Amino acid sequence: MTDIIIVGGGVAGLFAAISAKKNGANVIILEKNDSLGKKILITGNGRCNFTNEEMDSSYFVSSSDDKDRFVDNVLNSFDNSSLIKMLDELGMSYYVREGYYYPKTDEAATFRDTLINEVERLGIQVIYNFNLRSIEKVHDGFELSNKIDIYHAKKIILATGGNAAPKTGSSGDAYYYLENLGHSIIKPLPALTTLKADYPETLLGVNALANISLLINGQNVASERGFIKYYKGMLSGIPIYQLSLKAVPALNRGDSVKVSVDFISDSNMVNALNRTGLRVKKALCQSINPKIVNSYYKEGSKVLTEQLDNEERDGIIQLFSNVNYEIMGFGSFDVAQSTSGGVDISEINPVTMESKVCSGLFVAGEIIDITGRCGGYNIQWAASTGVIAGRKA
Ligand SMILES: Cc1cc2nc3c(=O)[nH]c(=O)nc-3n(C[C@H](O)[C@H](O)[C@H](O)COP(=O)(O)OP(=O)(O)OC[C@H]3O[C@@H](n4cnc5c(N)ncnc54)[C@H](O)[C@@H]3O)c2cc1C
């Protein structure tokens, strides 16, 4: 009988397998795809932002009030410096830009291949094209089956990911088996995704630097600065992804959700409006994308800056510092970068990643009801929880 079977050969499964094997365990990875780490290849726009200089529980969200304690426990065992030290030992080169870590080759494949090289070097057995279809708890461990073959293990680590980017293999399969083993699953929802809003078609393709706030039931709950993208009827871009962590659960609850965009803070637009001899539209376009100006500013009889009185000038400033969008939906799992919800953290020991309701069962990665912000936090989470599960199983 195998000591530990890991289901899922993504980030969490690969780190779990390497750690378990280094701990002396006999390990098998069961993977649905015909290759390991498929999702890694599409991370960070193909460059894989694998961690961040700044790392603490405030960069993660969960439906649980106990999130900070849980994440702190995990990071105390294996944090960003532990991950970097491990990659140093594995001999992978990297660079840091504005606190974000990437492989030095600028290729996500390098991160994946470094982990695969170590799996191969350690002689870890991988069973490909194994689509887990049932888990049975038996007296001496577990039986895992794809309805054709059965594998026995004393302990198992489920690292099958969430529902995001299902084409890469993670389609939320394991939630069902976890429920059968007694776990509670918090409803999985797309996270780090686009938000659906009504805006003029003329804005399609625009990419604008702005301060963006999220209002839930009229309350400003979060703000981000960055490039907002108008893409296929959705609002997109990193700041929108970050805000989606709060927006999607709110929409799911039926709350009113709005995004308010300030295009003029940190700009010289006011200076331009205070000059003379400039056409108002031209003054605005010195700071704001012309398509945004044309979509929201209708020229009246006063076309020159010096024709505006103070009230009219303030009105223009107000207009572009507060463009509001009612959010009517969100991007599906096909476009989401992560999953919120998953295994309820109150049922997992954060020091070991072992289930509190089914002994010998461990979980790691996106399958858990913890989601990181964009910036390398989700790969760090998968690595940290994978290493802990691999060491403690
Ligand atoms: C477009 C995109 C960009 C991203 N960019 C970044 C980034 O730059 N930085 C960052 O930190 N995070 C990023 N993420 C998020 C990050 O990739 C994930 O959070 C992370 O890969 C989760 O790791 P995991 O091992 O838990 O799950 P996964 O990587 O999803 O791996 C799960 C594995 O389990 C296998 N599996 C699933 N079901 C079964 C089954 N029934 N039987 C057998 N095997 C199964 C799957 O085939 C897969 O190989 C991005 C995600 C996407 C989609």
Pocket around ligand 1: residues whose beta carbon is below 6 Å from it?
A: 7-13, 30-33, 38-39, 42-44, 48-49, 130-132, 159-161, 164-165, 169-170, 173, 337-338, 365-366, 376-379, 382
Is the predicted pLDDT of residue 371 greater than 90, yes or no? Answer: yes
| Model confidence band, residue 180 (pLDDT cutoffs 50, 70, 90) | very high
Alpha carbon distance 389, 393 (integer Å): 6
Question: What is the chain's Cα-based Rg?
Answer: 24
CA proximity to 341, closest of 194, 169, 191: 191
One-letter amino acid of 63: S
pLDDT tens by residue, 86-122:
999 999 999 999 999 999 999 999 999 999 999 999 9
CA proximity to 362, closest of 160, 82, 191: 160
Task: Provide mean pLDDT across the span 357-366.
Answer: 98
DSSP assignment string, 339-364: EEEEE-GGGB-TTT-BBSSSTTEEE-
Alpha carbon distance 204, 231 (integer Å): 6
Alpha carbon distance 209, 44 (integer Å): 20
Alpha carbon distance 144, 384 (integer Å): 25
CB 271 within 8 A of CB 209: no
CB 333 within 8 A of CB 163: yes
From atom 51 of ligand 1, which residue's Cα is the shortest distance away?
337
Contacts of 104 (CB under 8 A, 6+ apart): 93, 94, 95, 110
| Model confidence band, residue 365 (pLDDT cutoffs 50, 70, 90) | very high
- Ligand 1, from 130, 337, 353: best to mutate by most atoms within 8 Å of Cβ? 337
pLDDT tens by residue, 184-228:
999 999 999 999 999 999 999 999 999 999 999 999 999 999 999
- What distance in angstroms lies between residue 161's CA and the mean position of ligand 1's atoms? 5
CB 236 within 8 A of CB 229: yes
| DSSP-derived secondary structure letter, 373 | P
**Structure confidence at residue 369 (pLDDT):** 98
Residue that is written with structure tokens 């280094």 in the block: 22
**What is the average pLDDT value for the chain, to the nearest integer?**
97
Is the predicted pLDDT of residue 141 greater than 90, yes or no? Answer: yes
Burial class for 10, CB neighbours closer than 10 Å (0-12, 13-18, 19+): buried
- What distance in angstroms lies between residue 136's CA and the mean position of ligand 1's atoms? 25
CA dihedral 168, 344, 194, 259 (to 10 degrees): -170
Is the predicted pLDDT of residue 302 greater than 90, yes or no? Answer: no
**Structure confidence at residue 342 (pLDDT):** 97
Side-chain-side CA neighbours of residue 26 (13 Å): 6
Which atom of ligand 1 is found nearest the CA of 131? 42
**Domains along the chain?**
2-191+338-392 (3.50.50.60), 194-331 (no CATH)
- What CA–CA distances, in Å, run from 170 to 165, 175, 211, 385? 7, 11, 33, 17
CB 150 within 8 A of CB 143: yes
| Model confidence band, residue 301 (pLDDT cutoffs 50, 70, 90) | confident
Task: Provide mean pLDDT across the span 339-366.
Answer: 98
| Model confidence band, residue 267 (pLDDT cutoffs 50, 70, 90) | confident
